[in-house]
Structure 1
């Protein structure tokens, strides 16, 4: 059986009957982490909520106002996952998240159009595609796409949209029907059951597809090809946006341009040049600062070495310092004087280095790491690592001075 969402992708609401409702767990990504949620798997007689497949994500929506968190395919059935159970044999009212659905329809139909024209014009076959949250990409079987070819493809794609060509799903109930075999396809899924669905773009493409699609290319509005990126070996990922995503992308780009204009002190057509100049200037400044920091480390160590009455511990904190700064001081300090060096935020986290005679390091290591809430290791006569509590720096100094006075 073909689902109602596949027969008419523009249906926003539908009544259907609950066939099955069973307890289950569903693995989902929540705040970037995989989590298992307890709930129920609900199978209906029919649905307008598309189950994930064909490169298209699943729909979201509600069953009697109960949120559907995920929809998957099992044979020719759609399995809806909810956190609330539903009574078997009872009717439910289904609503689809139309904003999400229509966006998916635009991107999916856009992919079919781009893929068909990329193959007919340049013989670039599509090997896979990905419908992302903000942009999508088509994996093309070519190592590169030249700029002039990209422009030609984009122009042709938008000409077809302007012509408003029809997009129609066709169902073939006989697997031996020779007509569906004329359509482009990479083969049916191993667990496929039910009718075979072909999506036809007038005078452009016939392609096996289970996903939801527009009824006219005019509903695509427009497509912007954002460029080709290196994909798998010998492949190119063609990044694109279709429909409302073009407007969203333009809006984000304008916001960035508007924000950069006062920062770079120049209009859009000069911003790349100005940004390049600013980065080169920054790198030159960073190099100068690094050299000055090295010279400062040497001078600070030499000033200590020149002291007549040296303290038993050389201790210094420099917020802007780095590992190289600390290593230079530790190397330049004479007479094996123990050194306690730190960099970073005085009341926060940073880096530390402790050096001195082997026995001193062995005795001090555990307590210093404890006070600094540090993580690190001892090698080459130096204990170094990350300090998470530099606010305890003065306590470490007192502890080290007491340890030295006892030795």
Structure 2
């Protein structure tokens, strides 16, 4: 039996009554859930790239909602008897938040389609992330242009209409759709901005989206992936970012406007400091190397906090005076070691291969020199060498 989707025509309704058609007990890992089918529901199931509604069903928590062949399954914390009438209540804050995000996505994608001919080839709306994938590359200026125009559309408070057109009229309607649809087609239309096949609940007017903010974007599969946040979710993100920013410039004892230069100065100072520390460590390493008698063929040094450049310079210095295996391992037994090995007489690539086989090391090289990292104790490494 198909479930009547009440959310289709009443997206702003918050509760409903329905009759239980079936209830099956299921195990999700070690957790027991109940798979409930109702004759009608206000709960939107996960589909079209959007996560499902949440809420309560007669005291039972609705944890997930899925749809299969027009049958909607509610995964609940407790079960019901077939035939009984239950009262459902959706988590309205979650529903409205999702409606803001989804309508915002329609506005952005509709504008990108109208202005640049972009097609939406992917959409994902979870509780944390909203992404839309367009099949064309876009510049920063183009993305910001669409963002600005989207907020102009929001400010105009245009009507958002969701409806099922007469099947005979559908071929004459120019609407967006990522795939072929069997059966009735539900369209969501913002006049002059977008008309798109969509199964999800939406706000009544664009003004209810509140605002649209592009958080970031990146090249993706020959096009662009855009991350957006709308309405209350955008406000929460803004407050989070302002809190981080405020804490940062207070810690650095500067004003907000001075923050970029202060951070740039700290990075420059840190780079200079690292260079000076590296020079000191390099000098100390060379002094240590010079103390080894030239009669030694093999020399292995274990130390801490050396970068790869210092290690390579050190191994080269060892190879000038020692004809056997010259190796430097930097790290500790707990977190592992980076290593550089070199030799004028031994095959370092083969030695690295042996360390990979016997101790699970990573890395490699050629006959003269090899480098990598290894999670093993100093004793195990020395015994293997």
Q: Deviations over 1:188-217 (max 9, x none)?
A: 655x45x43222324533322100111122
- Number of the residue aligned with 1:32: none
- Number of the residue aligned with 1:319: 304
Superposition deviation, residue 299 in structure 1: 1.6
- Number of the residue aligned with 1:108: 102
Alignment counterpart, residue 5 of structure 2, candidates 3, 6, 16: 3
Superposition deviation, residue 316 in structure 1: 5.7
Q: Which runs of 5+ in 2 are unaligned?
A: 347-353
Superposition deviation, residue 302 in structure 1: 0.5
- Number of the residue aligned with 2:49: 55
Superposition deviation, residue 251 in structure 1: 0.8
Superposition deviation, residue 98 in structure 1: 2.1
Matched, 1:185 2:176: yes
Superposition deviation, residue 322 in structure 1: 4.2
Distance 1:120 1:381, change over 3 A: closer
Superposition deviation, residue 184 in structure 1: 1.1
Distance 1:132 1:274, change over 3 A: farther
How many pairs are equivalent? 373
- Number of the residue aligned with 2:196: 207
Partners of 1:352 and 1:236 lie apart in 2 by: 40
Q: Deviations over 1:96-131 (max 9, x none)?
A: 222221111000011112222233344333333232
Report which stretch shifted further, 6-15 or 158-167: 158-167
Partners of 2:287 and 2:212 lie apart in 1 by: 62
Matched, 1:246 2:234: yes
Counting only pairs closer than 5 Å after superposition, residues 191-230 of structure 1 correspond to structure 2 as: 192-193=182-183, 195-226=184-215, 228-230=217-219
- Number of the residue aligned with 1:76: 70
Contact 1:68 1:82 in 2 (8 A): yes
Counting only pairs closer than 5 Å after superposition, residues 354-365 of structure 1 correspond to structure 2 as: none
Contact 1:229 1:238 in 2 (8 A): yes
- Number of the residue aligned with 2:161: 168
Partners of 2:213 and 2:271 lie apart in 1 by: 35
Partners of 1:121 and 1:377 lie apart in 2 by: 50
Superposition deviation, residue 25 in structure 1: 5.8
Counting only pairs closer than 5 Å after superposition, residues 248-397 of structure 1 correspond to structure 2 as: 248-305=236-293, 317-322=302-307, 325=310, 329=314, 332-333=317-318, 342-344=329-331, 349-351=336-338
Superposition deviation, residue 139 in structure 1: 2.2
Q: Deviations over 1:237-259 (max 9, x none)?
A: 23321101221121122122112
Partners of 2:297 and 2:217 lie apart in 1 by: 63
Q: Deviations over 1:130-172 (max 9, x none)?
A: 325444233233321352x444433332233223222232134
Contact 2:177 2:196 in 1 (8 A): no
- Number of the residue aligned with 1:155: 148
Partners of 1:57 and 1:76 lie apart in 2 by: 17
Distance 1:113 1:278, change over 3 A: same
Q: Secondary structure at the match of 2:291?
A: helix
Partners of 1:282 and 1:9 lie apart in 2 by: 55
Q: Which runs of 5+ in 1 are unaligned?
A: 27-34, 359-365
Distance 1:160 1:337, change over 3 A: closer
Contact 1:144 1:228 in 2 (8 A): no
Alignment counterpart, residue 99 of structure 1, candidates 76, 93, 96: 93
Partners of 2:135 and 2:328 lie apart in 1 by: 56
TM-score (norm 2): 0.77
Distance 1:52 1:216, change over 3 A: same
TM-score (norm 1): 0.73
Counting only pairs closer than 5 Å after superposition, residues 82-93 of structure 1 correspond to structure 2 as: 82=76, 84-93=78-87
Alignment counterpart, residue 127 of structure 1, candidates 99, 121, 125: 121
Report which stretch shifted further, 331-340 or 266-275: 331-340
Partners of 2:205 and 2:83 lie apart in 1 by: 37
Superposition deviation, residue 311 in structure 1: 10
Distance 1:312 1:232, change over 3 A: closer
- Number of the residue aligned with 2:23: 21
Partners of 1:381 and 1:120 lie apart in 2 by: 61
Alignment counterpart, residue 130 of structure 2, candidates 120, 125, 136: 136
Partners of 2:171 and 2:34 lie apart in 1 by: 37
